[in-house]
């Protein structure tokens, strides 16, 4: 199997995260049994993903998010599945004014049997956490 060219789609997914897009954009890429682990929290299935996204919408200022994925590594698995490991820089401003500046390691397991591909597992491991800073009073 040759290495899939998934970076453009992954970049599109993160661009949609930056806009806190509607859940329907993301759910097209999720398997029904998808499993997520973000910073010690676990979410299962599409309903778990929707809960996680609702939490993000309640936390972050619209238009303040910026995700930058890079350093992609692919591992072939059985049954047309791949494990994708990559780094992600994340910056955002919370509704409270707190500034986030993190680098994380992401690991996705994707099934390429369908179009679009389906994310089966999504793990996030913190690497660098920038110190939250309050914004200056206006």
The predicted-structure confidence for 47-66, as pLDDT tens digits, reads as follows: 999 999 999 999 999 999 99
Q: What is the pLDDT of residue 39?
A: 85
Q: What are the CA-CA distances from residue 103 to residues 24, 26, 62, 126 (Å)?
A: 27, 22, 20, 7
Angle at 101 between CA 36 and CA 21, to 5 degrees: 50
Q: What is the pLDDT of residue 4?
A: 75
Domain assignments of the chain as residue spans, ordered by start = 7-129
Q: What is the pLDDT of residue 26?
A: 97
pLDDT, averaged across the chain: 91
Q: Would you identify the CATH topology of the domain 7-129?
A: Nuclear Transport Factor 2; Chain: A, (3.10.450)
Nearest to 31 by CA among 79, 68, 71: 79
Residue 138's pLDDT band, with cuts at 50, 70 and 90, is very low
With a pLDDT cut of 90, the percent of the chain lying above it is 85
Q: Is 45 within 8 Å of 36 (Cβ atoms)?
A: no
Residue 130 has pLDDT above 90, yes or no: no
Q: How far apart are CA 75 and CA 85, in angstroms?
A: 8
């Amino acid at each position: 199997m040759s290495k899939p060219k998934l970076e453009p789609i992954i970049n599109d997914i993160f661009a949609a995260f930056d806009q806190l897009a509607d859940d329907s954009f993301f759910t097209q890429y999720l398997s029904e049994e998808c499993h997520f682990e973000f910073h010690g929290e676990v979410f299962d299935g599409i309903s778990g993903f929707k809960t996680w996204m609702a939490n993000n919408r309640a936390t972050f200022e619209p238009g303040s998010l910026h995700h930058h994925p890079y350093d992609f590594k692919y591992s072939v698995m059985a049954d047309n599945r791949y494990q994708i490991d990559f780094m992600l820089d994340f910056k955002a401003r919370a509704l409270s004014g707190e500034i986030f500046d993190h680098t994380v390691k992401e690991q996705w397991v994707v099934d390429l049997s369908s179009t679009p591909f389906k994310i089966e597992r999504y793990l996030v491991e913190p690497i660098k956490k920038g110190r939250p800073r309050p914004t200056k009073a206006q």
